[in-house]
């Protein structure tokens, strides 16, 4: 069972400790490190940063189950295949693109691997059940393994889900029980918001993520929608007449959200798909509008989300920092 801190954990710990002071007493100098008893499992919709995921996976604390994407007749696994260019070309040409949930067997393998490494329990955090059957697959697998598995519906997507996973890893590294790890992740997930702009609603309509009427309205009236994830579902937030105005309004909404949170608590992530330069510009403007907030993490949407959002999407996730020593709810 791992009881050391991998390089990725140290990076995350150092980054987040600058944002939120610990609310519980620090361990005495020379005290033994916490024993990590709980592993964390998630899916690739969490959009976790590639520069530190590998260390957690190698250490056994984290498993990221790939979500399949079908382009034409070919099936790709997120993280297993380089599908970004293939998917972008398919979207640009209007080719058929579909996604699916991972199989229960994939989750069963991840849970059994955690048990084999000596972990006593697993917390499994997944894309909203309103958008995917992934939670159902994980729940089926949880009943087949010899260690207890807490399956958590994040009720969100992208790095909003990823922030919940990060919080779970932080709590687990502090030696918390599976129930406490889940509670801490849930508390952080409740504080995350997803706001995004898409040039066209067509891909979301094709994937069944929004109704046909909403898609038709956007097409006929050239509406540029600002959407959000609320209660696990994609919901319309505002309708704007031009792309430039939509992005400007997105910035205003995010800045207002950050301003309403405790000073220095907000964390931002910006997702894009096929429009990196636009995302870099958005991240830069948000940095200017949200002083005291760390630089936004910038990353492409995972293919399983890009397949539904389409090319040109800009998404901003607003969450809050957490540290290993932060008090859990009820403490």
189-239: per-residue pLDDT in tens? Answer: 999 999 999 876 665 655 555 554 455 455 545 678 889 999 999 888 888
Question: What is the rounded distance in angstroms from the CA atom of residue 3 to the CA atom of residue 20?
Answer: 24
- The enclosing H or E element of 134 equals helix 134-142
Strands, E, within 163-265: which ranges?
Answer: 193-197, 224-230, 233-240
Q: What are the tens digits of pLDDT across the range 113-150? A: 999 999 999 999 999 999 999 999 999 999 999 999 99
What span, in angstroms and rounded, lies between the C-alpha atoms of 265 and 288?
16
Q: What value does the mean pLDDT take over residues 304-313?
A: 81
pLDDT for the residue 21: 33
pLDDT band at 326, cuts 50/70/90?
A: very low
In this structure, are residues 240 and 217 in contact, taking their beta carbons and an 8 Å threshold? Answer: no
Here the tokens at position 50 are 């590639």
Decide: 184 and 24 in contact? Cβ < 8 Å. Answer: no
DSSP 168: H
331 band by pLDDT with thresholds 50, 70 and 90: very low
Question: 183 Cβ partners below 8 Å, 6+ apart?
Answer: 328, 329, 330
Spatial distance between the Cα atoms of 265 and 326, rounded to a whole number of angstroms: 13
321 contacts 265 by C-beta, under 8 angstroms: yes
What is the model's pTM? 0.84
Instruction: DSSP letter for 239, please.
Output: E
58 three-class SS: helix
Residue 31 Cα to chain centre, angstroms: 33
Calculate the CA dihedral of residues 14, 16, 21, 22 and round it to 10 degrees.
-80
Report which secondary-structure segment, H or E, holds 113: helix 104-116
**d(Cα 36, Cα 85) in Å, to the nearest integer?**
38
pLDDT tens per residue, range 84-113: 777 777 777 777 777 788 999 999 999 999
DSSP summary character for residue 213: H
Q: In the prediction, which pLDDT does 204 show?
A: 61
Residue 54's pLDDT band (cuts 50, 70, 90): confident
Pick the closest to residue 165 from 49, 318, 37 (CA basis): 49
Question: Which of 35, 77, 79 has its CA nearest to residue 54?
Answer: 79
Residue 295 near residue 245 (C-beta atoms within 8 A): no
Give CA–CA dist 320/264, Å, rounded. 9
C-alpha angle with apex 67: 64 to 72, nearest 5 degrees?
150
Please give the Cα distance from 170 to 150 (Å, whole number): 16
- Considering only CA atoms, which of 150, 120, 154 is closest in space to residue 138? 150
Q: What mean pLDDT is reported for the chain?
A: 82
Q: SS3 helix, strand, coil % of the chain, rounded to 5?
A: 40, 20, 35
């Amino acid at each position: 069972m791992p009881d050391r801190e991998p390089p990725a954990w140290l990076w995350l710990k150092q980054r987040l400790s600058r944002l939120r002071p610990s609310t519980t007493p620090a361990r005495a100098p020379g005290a033994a490190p916490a024993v990590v008893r709980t592993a964390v499992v998630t899916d690739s919709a969490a959009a976790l940063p590639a520069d530190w995921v590998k260390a957690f996976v190698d250490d056994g604390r984290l498993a990221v189950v790939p979500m399949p994407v079908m382009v034409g007749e070919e099936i790709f696994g997120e993280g297993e295949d380089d599908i970004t260019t293939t998917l972008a070309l398919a979207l640009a040409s209007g080719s058929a693109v579909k996604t699916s949930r991972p199989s229960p067997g994939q989750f069963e393998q991840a849970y059994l691997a955690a048990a084999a490494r000596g972990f006593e329990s697993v917390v499994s955090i997944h894309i909203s059940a309103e958008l995917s059957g992934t939670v159902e697959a994980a729940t089926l697998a949880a009943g087949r393994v010899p260690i207890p598995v807490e399956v958590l519906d994040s009720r969100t997507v992208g790095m909003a889900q990823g922030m919940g996973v990060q919080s779970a890893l932080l709590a687990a590294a502090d030696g918390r029980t599976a129930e406490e790890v889940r509670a801490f992740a849930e508390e952080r997930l409740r504080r995350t918001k997803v706001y995004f702009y898409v040039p066209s609603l067509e891909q979301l309509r094709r994937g069944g993520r929004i109704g046909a009427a909403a898609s038709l309205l956007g097409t006929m009236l050239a509406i540029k929608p600002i959407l959000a994830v609320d209660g696990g579902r994609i919901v319309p937030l505002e309708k704007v007449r031009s792309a430039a105005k939509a992005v400007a309004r997105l910035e205003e909404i995010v800045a207002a959200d950050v301003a309403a949170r405790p000073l220095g608590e907000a964390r931002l992530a910006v997702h894009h798909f096929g429009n990196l330069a636009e995302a870099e510009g958005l991240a830069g403007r948000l940095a200017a509008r949200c002083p005291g907030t760390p630089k936004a993490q910038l990353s492409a949407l995972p293919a399983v989300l890009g397949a539904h959002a389409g090319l040109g999407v800009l998404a901003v996730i607003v969450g809050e920092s957490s540290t290993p020593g932060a008090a859990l709810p009820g403490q």
